[in-house]
Structure 1
Amino acid sequence: MILPLALSASLALTAPAAVAPTKPVTFQGFTIQIPARWHVKKEGVNLRVITGACSAKAAECRSFLLGGPIAVKYASEGGAYRSDQPYHPSSGVTECVPEKKYTSGRATRVKTSQTAFGAGQRARFTEWKISCDGSRPGVASYTQRVWYVKARKVLVVDHWKTPGLAAVLREAVWG
């Protein structure tokens, strides 16, 4: 009697976890599957995918941006996207993402690599560590992750290290 009970318990512990429901988001010729609990908001010609809570202290909700040709054209101080600089489309001072009472400051590139962005497409992935309020070290910082698909003029900008986002983008389907 002990053996069947132990086997049943073992199978219950190793059974695959239920897959969370997803929904499709189509943008600039590709479709990604995102968790159904995430929300999509149009921002001009771009899309913002809200992935979590919105804090009154933060400059933006937990989210990532899907940007097309216009986002690429104005991604760096009002000029075209440059992989050697963080995504910063305005020419002015920007708020620190996690704590908007501070301004974004010094950016340090942490990583650059090539990665799959769906079948047949490659993205240049760059990760930046951005400090806030340079006059007061250690106040706050955040990570900016950027996927750039040059052939399709697509940018994905994530300021929250969104869990699972890299896997979602690897599984993109181009139409």
Structure 2
Amino acid sequence: MRKTAYALAALAGAAMLVTPMVASASTSSASATSASATQILSFRGMNLTIPSSWGVYRDGDRVKVITGACGKPSAGYFTPKCDAFWLFGPKVIKYGHEGFSAYTPERPFYPASDVQRCPFNGKHGQVLGKATVAGLRQVGPGHKAHYRSWFGRCVKYGNGEQTATFDQREWFLPKSKILVVDVWNTPGLAGTLKRATWS
């Protein structure tokens, strides 16, 4: 079973404190109160137009975007039962592989050294396998990301019985030093990244 760390220990210590990020809203006055209202999320020059209902939490070189139910919005990476995706910058990427070596798209983002919890059920562990999809993806004009989708399994700690599966999707922009990680198959995220703008 793959080993992984419980938190980004080299970067965040034992607990991660996050504060809500103020994102600039991008809505017309007619639709300001509608469910289709949007906001602009900016990170390292990349600007994403996301629903205003999504919660955005920034902690230095990390941004957590909560897209649905989340038991612990301020908790760190690997926290189960939190519909969210992450944006990471160079400080996190530097320690993004198992054992805290530097991230590259050849291996999944797994900044840990022990077995981590399943995204859906904290009583089970997770195992990441091979990439099922690999290639380049457009992230706004003039920017291409190394894209990978890694096959993940949730397994019981005692006997390794599989209880669920998931895909860990990653978009890595080496020049911009941005990594986007999503284990919840967030609807519309691929299109949102494709329509990104840059400043």
Q: TM-score over 0.5 for the alignment? A: yes
CA deviation profile, 1:90-141 (whole Å, cap 9, x unmatched): 1222111111111112423110010101110000110011112273333122
Structure with the greater alpha carbon radius of gyration: 1
* Residues 38, 49 of structure 2: 8 Å contact kept: yes
Q: CA deviation at 1:54?
A: 1.8
Instruction: Work out the percentage of aligned pairs sharing the same amino acid.
Output: 34
Tell me how many residue pairs correspond in the alignment. 157
2 CA distance for matches of 1:120 and 1:106? Answer: 31
1:156 maps to what in 2? 180
1:4 maps to what in 2? none
CA deviation profile, 1:27-46 (whole Å, cap 9, x unmatched): 11111000111010123420
Which residues of structure 2 form unaligned runs of 5+?
1-33, 73-78
Matches for 1:5-154 after TM superposition, within 5 Å: 20-55=36-71, 59-77=80-98, 78-133=100-155, 135-154=159-178
> Secondary structure in 2 aligned to 1:168?
helix
- The amino acid across from 2:116 in the alignment is T
1:7 maps to what in 2? none
Greater CA deviation, 117-126 or 90-99?
A: 90-99
TM-score by structure 2 length?
Answer: 0.73
> Secondary structure in 1 aligned to 2:70?
coil
> Secondary structure in 1 aligned to 2:193?
helix
> Secondary structure in 2 aligned to 1:152?
coil
- The amino acid across from 1:66 in the alignment is L
Q: C-alpha root-mean-square deviation of aligned residues, in Å?
A: 1.9
1 CA distance for matches of 2:90 and 2:185? Answer: 23
